[in-house]
Amino acid sequence: MPGHEGVGIVYSVGEGVTSTQPGQRVAAPWLGYACGTCEHCLTGWETLCLKQQNTGYSVDGGFAEYFTAEAAFAAPVPDGIDPIDAAPLTCAGVTSYKAVKVGNVRPGDLVAVSGIGGLGHLALQYAKIFGGTVAAIDITDEKLQLAKDLGADLVIGLLPSAVERFAPVVTCVLAIAIEVTAGCVVLSKLWLGKGSQLTGNITRVAHAVGTNSPWPGIVTIAMLAFVTLSALAALAAVSVADRDTTHTSNESLVPAESVP
């Protein structure tokens, strides 16, 4: 049964459960269970636990009239908070919160939030709570106004034509980032013997290869070749975009107070 973020009233509790009680209102998050003992869980990356259960996906979720939730993962919802406001915090909320936390945002840090949508509007608010100076980026006036209302220090508007123009470049950059990250994970395991916080599967493969293998060099060469080809593709995409466009600049930098 789907429903990956839900708020409901506890009907009954299992034997030995003391953290919740019948009649209490709780929220069931997307991460419905993690083992708590594996390397990922013990290093703060329980979202990568290989034994995890996900609400509304691998176990029944909030669309059901009744469903079972792990008591350790059911968060109490204080009275006075609308369930409509509380439920998204159990997925989009914790996702954007951890991004700000792992980003080590400190007072005065400049934080760019790209896209003031379901996660972005929450990341903006968390970054402000952490003391950051927030620049909100979007392509619609409504979202820029929302960012201003939520306390953004600066709003940056990109015209849709600019987004279309630079989409190929962004795609190439993302592909490079993903490939390089995966390669670094493998190399860190092969050369340093360190476990990865990114994915258990890659580290297991790297461990099986062994530290005396020629694969580190091969992987490095492959990564460099991929980066080079991707960079050339990005330059070609920019060149094509420059020839096809009739405008010279689509970006606008707008102070928050100037948004109508």
- The answer to whether position 256 is within a domain reads no
Element (H, E) at 67: none
3-state secondary structure of 26: strand
The length of the chain is 260
- The answer to whether position 192 is within a domain reads yes
Instruction: Give percent of the chain above pLDDT 70.
Output: 61
83 lies in the same domain as 40: yes
Of 68, 88, 86, 85, the residue nearest 20 (C-alpha) = 68
25-29, 59-63, 240-244: least confidently modelled range? 240-244
141 lies in the same domain as 154: yes
pTM: 0.61
46 lies in the same domain as 123: no
Mark which of 70, 87, 104 sits at the end of a domain.
87
151 lies in the same domain as 182: no
User: d(Cα 236, Cα 8) in Å, to the nearest integer?
Assistant: 53
- The answer to whether position 214 is within a domain reads yes
82 lies in the same domain as 108: no
Q: Which amino acid is at 197?
A: Q
CATH number at residue 77: 3.90.180.10
Residue 44 is predicted with a pLDDT of: 87
13 lies in the same domain as 82: yes
Residue 149 is predicted with a pLDDT of: 96
Total domain count, the chain: 3
Helix and strand totals (H; E) in the chain: 8, 9
Mark which of 87, 111, 127 sits at the end of a domain.
87
154 lies in the same domain as 168: no
Please give the average per-residue pLDDT across 90-99, as a whole number. 91
User: d(Cα 255, Cα 7) in Å, to the nearest integer?
Assistant: 38
User: 63: which residues sit within 8 A by CB, 6+ positions away?
Assistant: 1, 2, 3, 6, 56
Residue 210 is predicted with a pLDDT of: 44
CB atoms within 10 A of CB 6: 23
- The answer to whether position 251 is within a domain reads no
Cβ atoms 82, 89 nearer than 8 A:
no
User: d(Cα 12, Cα 67) in Å, to the nearest integer?
Assistant: 11
CATH number at residue 130: 3.40.50.720
Any idea what the Cα angle at residue 220 is, between residues 217 and 226, rounded to 5°? 140
186 lies in the same domain as 225: yes
Confidence of residue 253 (pLDDT cuts 50, 70, 90): very low
127 lies in the same domain as 183: no
Q: What are phi and psi of 29, to 5 degrees?
A: -85, 170
Partners of 253 in beta bridges: 156
Of 137, 133, 129, the residue nearest 155 (C-alpha) = 137
Q: Which residues in 164-195 are b (16+ Cβ under 10 Å) and which e?
A: ebbebbeebeeebeeeeebbebbbbbbeeeeb
Residue 157 is predicted with a pLDDT of: 85
User: d(Cα 20, Cα 204) in Å, to the nearest integer?
Assistant: 38
Partners of 55 in beta bridges: 59
Partners of 8 in beta bridges: 26
59 lies in the same domain as 111: no
12 lies in the same domain as 72: yes
- The answer to whether position 255 is within a domain reads no
165 lies in the same domain as 242: yes
Domain that holds residue 79: 6-87
Residue 1 is predicted with a pLDDT of: 76
- The answer to whether position 1 is within a domain reads no
Mark which of 158, 183, 204 sits at the end of a domain.
158
- Write out pLDDT tens, residues 53-89: 999 999 988 888 899 999 999 999 998 899 999 999 9
Average pLDDT, the chain: 76
Max Cα separation, the chain? Answer: 70
Instruction: Give percent of the chain above pLDDT 90.
Output: 42
